[in-house]
């Protein structure tokens, strides 16, 4: 829904691309690349050696929240 609000959609898109790049272990420079040259940088994520590391690339923090909310993982 945030993509439908004028000007907020730009901020939300930047935030979403930043979360995506962090989830694959990339830095802010890669986020800028996704914004400006997405046709090049999205295939790098999809077909390159980038590995998904979890939300924001911090698996330990994600597991800590998951354990608190849902108990021990199976």
Locate the domains of the chain by residue range. 7-70
pLDDT at 44: 92
Q: Give CA–CA dist 8/26, Å, rounded.
A: 24
Phi-psi region of 61 (alpha: psi -120 to 50; beta: other; left: phi over 0): alpha
Q: Specify the DSSP class assigned to residue 54.
A: S
What ranges make up the beta strands (E) of 1-74?
A: none
Q: What is the pLDDT of residues 23-64, one digit of tens each?
A: 898 999 999 999 999 999 999 999 999 888 877 777 676 666
Whole-number Å distance between alpha carbons of 34 and 11: 14
Q: What number is the average pLDDT over the span 8-33?
A: 91
Alpha carbon separation from 16 to 61, 67, 71 (Å, rounded): 19, 25, 28
Residue 53 has which token pair? Answer: 């590391």
Q: What is the pTM of this model?
A: 0.72
């Amino acid at each position: 829904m945030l993509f439908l609000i004028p000007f907020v959609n730009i901020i939300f898109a930047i935030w979403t691309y930043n979360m995506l790049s962090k989830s694959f272990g990339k830095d802010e420079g890669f986020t800028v690349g996704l914004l400006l040259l997405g046709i090049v940088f999205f295939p790098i994520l999809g077909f390159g050696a980038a590995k998904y590391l979890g939300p924001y690339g911090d698996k330990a923090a994600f597991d800590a929240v998951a354990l608190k909310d849902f108990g021990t993982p199976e």
